Amino acid sequence: MANIASIDQHKKGRAVNSVDEALECLQTQVSADMARVNETILARMHSPVALIPQLAGHLIASGGKRLRPMLTLAGAQLVDYKGDRHTKLAACVEFIHTATLLHDDVVDESDLRRGKDSANVLWGNKPSVLVGDFLFSRAFELMIEDGSLKVLKLLSHASSVIAEGEVLQLSISNDLDTPEESYLQVIEAKTAALFEAATQIAAVVAERPENEELALASFGRHFGIAFQLVDDALDYSARQATLGKTVGDDFREGKITLPVILAFRRGDETERAFWRRTIEEMDQKEGDLSHAIHLMETHEALSDTIERARHYGAIARDALALFKPNNTRKTLNDIVRFCVERAY
């Protein structure tokens, strides 16, 4: 049904011009499956302990893009999977992602005043951690019901890589001497690993040959890296700010992302002192974010971050070439293409 609808949409020739439109298009193409993913999510995040569905629902139900489970569903369409295991596993992927978000938002004493409306602000650190643990365990219970040791292996490995990446990110935080390689290692771990597993498991349940499995994994992985690079660039985008979107979160946290690494390296002594004060010493005043963006633009730190993203995006798109052309392939291609273009 959903597929016919989306084919109609394509026939109507609605041109896709942005990553948001491409994502909407994919949403339509996987909507029937996504409805079942949502059913599983709602059913399995339930608990007689009321705080669990309350807190989990805050994050899960409050309309995220569901990008990661969407990748599993799209992967299943690429390999023409006819079964029904993928929707349950896509729900696992979303549970793991949500658990990660809940844990990622836990704050240390030092930044208790960040003041975002995240779950930890509304309920406190401890419930966020424990509900994250619950979702994480629930994800494993669901995977075990599915019964594939290979799927379990891929997703448990992704989980430990994510945790490792988050700790690495913490280790290099506020350190401007972080090499670009370490930054890349962080985003490969904390973002790309789950994208990779999410797409790869579609080929696993469809029992496709290894080359297709690896192609899906490669697509997920490289799209994940590109996605995170763009995300890190957008956090300093003046254009995003004019669109009313939040910018500067990373700056306020003193997070070491590629735009900062590049601007710091390319800056003169005065500029480096500015970065040391704002990012290392976390001594920030009004106007500092604008100045940071200005310095990044001067040194093309943002456009070069997108340039790096374009490299990984190209690899992701080439990985898709193995699959027969269909609407899903076209849409995934569009998403990656517009994703790396959305910043400019």
Which residues contribute to the site for a second copy (CB under 8 A)?
A: 47, 49-52, 99-100, 103, 106-110, 112, 124-127, 129-131, 133-134, 136-138, 140-141, 144, 147, 149, 152-153, 156-157, 159-160, 162-164, 166-168, 170-171
Please report, for residues 7, 15, 172, 330, the alpha-carbon distance to residue 11 in angstroms, rounded to integers and kept in the order given. 6, 10, 50, 13
Q: Which two tokens stand for residue 26?
A: 């994919």
* Of residues 114 and 265, the one with the C-beta less far from a second copy: 114
CB contact at 8 A, 114 and 253: yes
Proportion of the chain in helix, strand, coil states, percent, rounded to 5: 75, 0, 25
* Of residues 257 and 333, the one with the C-beta less far from a second copy: 257
Cβ neighbours for 260, distance < 8 A, ≥ 6 positions apart = 176, 250, 251, 275, 279, 292, 301
Minimum CB distance to a second copy, residue 140 (Å): 4
* Of residues 27 and 159, the one with the C-beta less far from a second copy: 159
* Of residues 122 and 321, the one with the C-beta less far from a second copy: 122
Minimum CB distance to a second copy, residue 312 (Å): 23
- Cβ atoms < 10 Å from Cβ of 302: 24
Minimum CB distance to a second copy, residue 155 (Å): 9
Minimum CB distance to a second copy, residue 222 (Å): 23
* Of residues 126 and 245, the one with the C-beta less far from a second copy: 126
* Of residues 39 and 111, the one with the C-beta less far from a second copy: 111
Minimum CB distance to a second copy, residue 117 (Å): 15
Cβ neighbours for 9, distance < 8 A, ≥ 6 positions apart = 25, 28
Minimum CB distance to a second copy, residue 331 (Å): 32
* Of residues 92 and 226, the one with the C-beta less far from a second copy: 92
Classify each residue of 253-278 as buried b or exposed e, where b means 16 or more C-beta atoms within 10 Å of its C-beta.
bbbbbbbbbbbbebbeeebeebbeeb
Pick from 302, 175, 143, 308: nearest CA to 237: 302
How far is residue 82's CA from residue 66's CA, in Å, rounded to a whole number?
Answer: 22
Minimum CB distance to a second copy, residue 168 (Å): 5
